[in-house]
Amino acid sequence: MDNVRSQSWKGFMIETFAFAVRHCGLPAGWPDRYMATVRIRRAQHTVADWHLPRYAQHCRSADEAHRETIEYAIRAINAGCLNDTGSPARFVA
Protein backbone atom coordinates (compact mmCIF):
# COMPACT_ATOMS: atom_id res chain seq x y z
CA MET A 1 0.00 0.00 0.00
CA ASP A 2 1.25 3.47 -0.90
CA ASN A 3 0.97 5.31 2.43
CA VAL A 4 2.46 8.65 1.32
CA ARG A 5 1.31 10.62 -1.72
CA SER A 6 2.16 14.06 -3.09
CA GLN A 7 0.31 16.37 -5.44
CA SER A 8 1.05 19.90 -6.60
CA TRP A 9 -1.76 22.48 -6.71
CA LYS A 10 -1.46 26.22 -7.50
CA GLY A 11 2.10 26.46 -6.20
CA PHE A 12 1.43 24.35 -3.10
CA MET A 13 2.73 20.82 -2.53
CA ILE A 14 0.08 18.67 -0.82
CA GLU A 15 1.49 15.59 0.95
CA THR A 16 -0.87 13.03 2.49
CA PHE A 17 -0.13 10.09 4.78
CA ALA A 18 -2.85 7.44 5.24
CA PHE A 19 -2.94 4.90 8.04
CA ALA A 20 -5.30 2.29 9.45
CA VAL A 21 -7.23 3.08 12.62
CA ARG A 22 -9.27 0.78 14.82
CA HIS A 23 -12.08 1.53 17.20
CA CYS A 24 -11.48 -0.37 20.42
CA GLY A 25 -15.24 -0.78 20.98
CA LEU A 26 -15.75 -2.85 17.84
CA PRO A 27 -15.49 -6.65 17.76
CA ALA A 28 -12.30 -8.31 16.52
CA GLY A 29 -12.36 -8.96 12.81
CA TRP A 30 -14.19 -5.72 12.03
CA PRO A 31 -12.55 -4.22 8.92
CA ASP A 32 -9.96 -1.48 9.45
CA ARG A 33 -10.88 2.10 8.70
CA TYR A 34 -8.41 4.69 7.45
CA MET A 35 -7.65 8.34 7.94
CA ALA A 36 -5.05 10.61 6.42
CA THR A 37 -3.05 13.56 7.63
CA VAL A 38 -1.92 16.31 5.28
CA ARG A 39 1.07 18.62 5.09
CA ILE A 40 0.86 21.57 2.72
CA ARG A 41 4.09 23.26 1.70
CA ARG A 42 4.85 26.38 -0.29
CA ALA A 43 8.39 27.45 -1.22
CA GLN A 44 9.87 24.79 1.11
CA HIS A 45 7.88 26.10 4.10
CA THR A 46 5.13 24.09 5.80
CA VAL A 47 2.01 26.27 5.84
CA ALA A 48 -0.42 23.66 7.19
CA ASP A 49 -0.16 20.29 8.90
CA TRP A 50 -3.49 18.74 9.97
CA HIS A 51 -6.19 16.11 9.42
CA LEU A 52 -9.78 16.41 8.29
CA PRO A 53 -12.00 18.08 10.91
CA ARG A 54 -14.02 14.97 11.74
CA TYR A 55 -14.40 13.03 14.93
CA ALA A 56 -14.71 9.25 14.74
CA GLN A 57 -15.44 9.20 11.01
CA HIS A 58 -12.98 7.20 8.99
CA CYS A 59 -12.71 6.05 5.38
CA ARG A 60 -13.13 2.47 4.19
CA SER A 61 -9.80 2.44 2.30
CA ALA A 62 -6.47 4.23 2.22
CA ASP A 63 -7.27 5.45 -1.30
CA GLU A 64 -10.51 7.02 -0.09
CA ALA A 65 -8.68 8.69 2.83
CA HIS A 66 -6.07 10.16 0.46
CA ARG A 67 -8.75 11.34 -1.98
CA GLU A 68 -10.92 13.05 0.65
CA THR A 69 -7.91 14.73 2.27
CA ILE A 70 -6.56 16.01 -1.06
CA GLU A 71 -10.01 17.33 -2.04
CA TYR A 72 -10.35 19.17 1.29
CA ALA A 73 -6.85 20.66 0.95
CA ILE A 74 -7.61 21.86 -2.59
CA ARG A 75 -10.85 23.51 -1.40
CA ALA A 76 -8.92 25.27 1.40
CA ILE A 77 -6.27 26.49 -1.08
CA ASN A 78 -8.91 27.66 -3.58
CA ALA A 79 -10.75 29.53 -0.81
CA GLY A 80 -7.54 31.43 0.03
CA CYS A 81 -7.29 30.04 3.55
CA LEU A 82 -3.55 29.37 3.24
CA ASN A 83 -2.46 32.58 1.55
CA ASP A 84 -1.34 34.08 4.86
CA THR A 85 0.34 30.79 5.95
CA GLY A 86 -2.43 30.05 8.42
CA SER A 87 -4.31 26.92 9.32
CA PRO A 88 -7.48 26.09 7.36
CA ALA A 89 -9.36 25.95 10.68
CA ARG A 90 -11.62 28.82 9.61
CA PHE A 91 -12.49 26.96 6.37
CA VAL A 92 -15.83 25.16 6.47
CA ALA A 93 -16.29 22.34 3.96
pLDDT in tens, 9-50: 999 999 999 988 876 666 677 777 888 999 999 988 999 998
Distance of CA 32 to the CA centre of its chain: 18
Structure pTM?
A: 0.77
Q: What pLDDT, on the 0 to 100 scale, is given for residue 93?
A: 46
Per-residue CA distances from 77 to 23, 57, 69, 86, 90 (Å): 31, 23, 12, 11, 12
Q: What pLDDT, on the 0 to 100 scale, is given for residue 59?
A: 85
How far apart are the C-alpha atoms of 44 and 39, rounded to whole Å? 11
Percent of the chain surpassing pLDDT 90: 43
How far apart are the C-alpha atoms of 51 and 73, rounded to whole Å? 10
| Cβ contact 24:89 at 8 Å | no
Domain assignments of the chain as residue spans, ordered by start: 4-90
59-82 per-position pLDDT tens digit: 888 899 999 999 999 999 999 888
Degrees (nearest 5) of the Cα angle 7, 8, 13?
90
Mean pLDDT, the chain, whole residue set: 82
